[in-house]
Chain A
């Protein structure tokens, strides 16, 4: 028997061998050996640890990561003599027969195979050409590749995809049906299934641009912001607690609401970046711009007894550097905190130069998380507006009252005064924000020897790594400067990283699967030219608009394909890296839960505000200092969207955790999908899902027009899947219905339990057996592969 999982682990995993899997992208066609794709990965894996960028670990003063290093004069001749492998010490050593002499040395546990040696020989004989790592070269918009099937492409994206498919002798699938398309689009752009009304509007739209109109409607939905905020919260290591041992509650949710609104307003990504990294330093910073900077205050605070604040302040600053690197540069700069990077050209000194930019904020791991500011968040503003409106209404009514209605008038006046007082007294909660130290109180930054905060080494000042794009001549050497540098048009990385990330959310896997690492150890892109085309389009044409970027992707024929798998494609491309079919993969944890709530009619669409506590099994929160308790929210707050669920770092919401969500402790660049039995237990048995099944059963009875059994089942099926039931599916449901009807007729107690616990007393006039059986069937429907999956 086997243990099915969807995507086992990162590309680089290797246990007995060290990470040998690579090259999802085909080797370049033609004779020339491609340095970036074929040679650098071999060198990087086998040689750079001792002959790479890390000057401290460099052996024999030889570096092979630059051409100068490899071909430069040395005692006994250059390591590599271009054009002449037989004269190259490098080649002689990798083919040496003496186990003492062979490179890589035995104790490194690396070994070159015959094919790799052959490639290296060919490369040296061809002139040992070095290219810069692809991701460090600024993308330019490539020409659209020519394709044979000129009918298929709908936009530029399709040219790139189709060209590759034609090259591989694969054919794309036709367009998926409308019901499939609207479900796919709704999940991708809003994280929710489409409503019945939305489905029928689309189905009934006969116009030629019906799909585009649908895309525009979905992009305009307020739920769009919630969907992408959830992704951003993973990256920003969002949580509602401080972390570490005490893990006390802290107020961060106004920032989460800022993010939702920013996505909904389609704030350009460069502005979105600058405001979160340095909104406080912008000229005449608005309250919203300061609120945005809570982004980097999502770092953990250690309030355990006796901790040295400085130690954990340093840890937080490092976390900010690492997170910034992962999100915007797609580089793991983190390892350079202890030593120079072994593979990517970032020295330890350069790491601490970056660190200096973020080392100047006033926060210092203090228990109270200050500096904090009380700033009007979107939640506050919407509440405030609503109350103010009510005051206005009262006042205008008051004005309309005549003199005879004195008692009423007084009553209204009192009400209006009280309400107005309430508005005036409304105070947004204070939340941790970034605040710069005064110019005369700046910290001195040192290289920290081995990363230890107690071992300051050479002093350094702010700067960016030499191997990345240059610092603009006028940029201020502070956080704003850094943020602008990240989104400058000279930056080869940010646009690519962002495009790749969005692509991965829509298509299941990024063009570079290692979304967090576009560096030399990362995977090579499956479609390098498409990635560059989209990066340039995003920055130049769309002016950093994420909505426009999404639209470009979802309007493509590539996206609109049916996800049906033909045998040839299953053999040739089991993971759909080439996209000869539409994307199909398991939904995210929150989407699965939100969907169950939505189709059963339980979902609250209320936006913003403090985190909520939906049903959670007893005894989950047993952390050391749990002054705080899980108190199940009342009313609609029990059924809010997943992203509003209280996130405690030491004890994440269990059903999300079991479906690959993170705990908010560190930046989570992507979730690795798994399908474990413990996750199946969630959708089968979690009271949240039981309640959804019960609600769905009641909804079917209450809203169904036709009360016959088959009609009810068909209705339930349609509510859940968004499509019409097929004959075999109906037969399966009917068999279960008949069988279970007998069972629950005999066991009234069980029927009552399954129909009402935990949702509550039965509605009047509906037989309990009926509801029990419908609940059992709804439970099945909510576990269908089709439902757990975006098809």
Chain B
């Protein structure tokens, strides 16, 4: 350790002790009493240093697979043979009165629509899974399928915000920020919270779903990209190689040290450290993001194709990207997700766009395009589960899958008409999500909906419950993880006590 580093360490210890509330407890109190010398050794020297939550953790990492637009539960997991009987019948009035939908027009007699695809039961829990997800079905014993989810928001952007930030309005930190705020990152050379997007678009609510809101921007998600630099501005300028960069940083260090001698500001030393860390991140991030070195059988298991560009980025119908079954973007991201958690990234968030199957245009046709989207995700997700299991990582990695709401048992009648394409409208009252690994009970079917899938009929589970349970599995107390702000204890699970850790689904 150089003298500077020693100094810096001593300094930052004090600096965090006096400035930063993370994990302080007794230290903060001691500080308040003006008795710094007796403060307990702080556990946190830097905001992203790994640390333990207050509860015993079941999972160390999380991979959250968000299907933006919201996939249909009625074609994928929530099998409703009863609904078939009503297929084509006018929807009863009581399901429409006083309800708000995005496009269904209650007065225009929307009809009920039975499941468009077949289902079979799988695994020890006899879990109903759609024919569209054969690979995932082979992993049924790992899945805890929650069919009784509901939310309060029926538009994409507020619903995504509610799910990921705990507030349908903008400005609150995302789940990934809260988790890295609470637990730090295991790898100092990589961001603690990484976001991977596929499907040609970022989510409706924009980058706020991985923003850090009122927390420090240290905790914001870093988006790793499929094209160009995997991390923004990661590569050196054209014509400037790594050796030159090293020489530059050596010179920069000398200049900064001169500045430090003249002014004596500890922040200058922190600056030197920031640049050294950046240098290491350039290598580490480029390395972990390069999936081309994976063995062939692993690539095949995921269906990953290194370096192949996503067709969704270029192919549009109207203003929507057209999904292609051959598009490997999501598969690549799943493989990357495994590599990232393996390298100690705490929170990996995947967003896959293209699940908003209204039936109002070709890319949104449930009959022809839902199978394309499921082809894109089925094999990679199954591979991800298998791969993590083989590596002994599934127990410590929580996987969460789902959209921001569900889809209606009615067929959407946008403009009061039915056209060529088929689809369902947004349905906040009931939808399906599943979790796997990370101390969640596998092979479990939790909650249920009524005969037509309109409302939860058993063990209803809200967004707050989901958030509380996720934090709990990571060893964070969802009720305590918060900051006092605007006179409120601001938390992921919101200011009220409605959220619960759903112990029923824990292994």
Contact = CB atoms under 8 A, between A and B. Distances in A.
Contact of B234 (A17, A574, A666, A681): A681
Interface in B1-36: 8-9, 12, 14-16, 18-25, 28-29, 31-33
A550 B337 CA distance: 51
A732 B32 contact: no
B202 A113 contact: no
Chain A interface helix/strand/loop/mixed:
loop
Interface string B240-264: 1101110110111011101110111
A599 B419 CA distance: 61
A754 B244 CA distance: 11
A625 B319 contact: yes
B486 A9 contact: no
Interface in B212-253: 214-218, 222, 225, 227-229, 231-241, 243-245, 247-248, 250-252
Contacts of B232: 617, 654, 658, 678, 681-682
Contact of B231 (A341, A675, A678, A781): A678
Count class of interface residues, chain A = 35 or more
A617 B233 contact: yes
Contacts of A17: 21, 24-25, 28-29
Nearest to A664: B170
A784 interface: yes
Interface of A: 1-10, 12-23, 45, 109, 113, 115, 243-245, 247, 300, 302, 304-308, 315, 332, 334-335, 338, 341-344, 517, 519-521, 563-567, 570, 574-575, 584-586, 617-619, 622-627, 649-652, 654-655, 657-658, 660, 663, 665-666, 672, 674-678, 680-682, 684-687, 690, 726, 728-729, 731-733, 735-736, 739-740, 743, 749-755, 757, 772, 776-777, 779-781, 783-786, 788-789, 791
Interface string B124-166: 0000000000000000000000000000001111100000000
B482 interface: yes
A567 B201 CA distance: 52
Contact of B262 (A517, A564, A685): A564
Contacts of A729: 254-255, 258
A245 B256 CA distance: 44
A584 B267 contact: yes
Lowest 7 A-B CB distances belong to which pairs? A650-B206, A753-B239, A306-B102, A4-B270, A754-B239, A332-B486, A19-B484
Highest count of chain B CB atoms <10 Å: which of A7, A344, A650: A650
Contacts of A521: 484, 486-487
Contact of B21 (A14, A344, A675): A14
Contacts of A749: 239
A733 B20 CA distance: 37
B471 to A, nearest CB: 12
Given A9-B21, A335-B486, A617-B233, A623 B255 contact: no
B233 A244 contact: no
29 contacts: A2-B45, A5-B216, A14-B483, A15-B22, A15-B23, A15-B481, A19-B21, A20-B21, A20-B24, A307-B102, A332-B485, A335-B495, A521-B486, A565-B263, A565-B265, A619-B228, A650-B207, A655-B233, A674-B217, A675-B270, A678-B231, A684-B275, A729-B254, A729-B255, A733-B251, A772-B239, A779-B237, A780-B248, A785-B268
Contact of B103 (A6, A305, A649, A780): A305
Interface of B: 8-9, 12, 14-16, 18-25, 28-29, 31-33, 45-49, 54, 100-103, 154-158, 169-171, 181-182, 188, 191, 197, 200-208, 211, 214-218, 222, 225, 227-229, 231-241, 243-245, 247-248, 250-252, 254-256, 258-260, 262-268, 270-278, 281-282, 313, 319, 353, 426, 479-489, 495
B153 to A, nearest CB: 10
Contacts of B225: 619
Given A21-B28, A344-B487, 11 more contacts: A4-B270, A16-B25, A21-B31, A584-B263, A624-B156, A650-B202, A658-B217, A684-B278, A687-B237, A780-B248, A791-B263
B204 to A, nearest CB: 4
Contacts of A14: 21, 24, 28, 483-484
Given A9-B216, A13-B21, A619 B313 contact: yes
A753 B238 contact: yes
A1 B271 contact: no
A652 B157 CA distance: 16
A342 B206 CA distance: 32
A19 B267 CA distance: 25
Contact of A10 (B15, B204, B319, B483): B483
Contacts of B155: 245, 302, 304-307
Contact of B207 (A575, A651, A666, A733): A651
Given A2-B46, A732-B255, A785-B267, A19 B353 contact: no
A21 B157 contact: no
Contacts of A685: 233-237
B103 A3 contact: no
Contact of B483 (A6, A19, A690, A788): A19
A168 to B, nearest CB: 12
A69 B21 CA distance: 33
B254 A728 contact: yes
Contact of A622 (B197, B215, B281): B197
B217 A665 contact: no
A2 B483 contact: no
Contacts of B239: 749-755, 757, 772
A608 B229 CA distance: 33
B484 A783 contact: no
A665 B45 contact: no
A780 B255 contact: yes
Nearest to A339: B495
Nearest to A17: B25
A652 B236 CA distance: 23
Given A15-B23, A302-B155, A1 B258 contact: no
A663 B174 CA distance: 15
Contact of B264 (A244, A564, A672, A731): A564
B12 A681 contact: no
Given A243-B170, A740-B244, A785-B259, A10 B28 contact: no
Contact of A624 (B12, B101, B201): B201
B275 A783 contact: yes
Contacts of A626: 201, 319
A757 B238 contact: yes
Contact of B277 (A3, A109, A740, A752): A3
Highest count of chain B CB atoms <10 Å: which of A3, A665, A728, A779: A3
Contacts of B14: 574
B176 to A, nearest CB: 15
A15 B486 contact: no
A279 B481 CA distance: 44
A506 B5 CA distance: 31
B15 A574 contact: yes
Nearest to A726: B258
Contacts of A19: 21, 483-484
Contacts of B171: 665-666
Contacts of A780: 248, 251-252, 255
Given A304-B157, A685-B234, A660 B228 contact: no
A658 B223 CA distance: 11
Nearest to A739: B247
B15 A1 contact: no
A701 B491 CA distance: 56
B393 to A, nearest CB: 25
Highest count of chain A CB atoms <10 Å: which of B12, B238, B241, B495: B238
A775 to B, nearest CB: 8
B279 to A, nearest CB: 9
B238 A754 contact: yes
Contacts of A627: 319
A112 to B, nearest CB: 11
B291 to A, nearest CB: 19
Contacts of A650: 202, 205-208
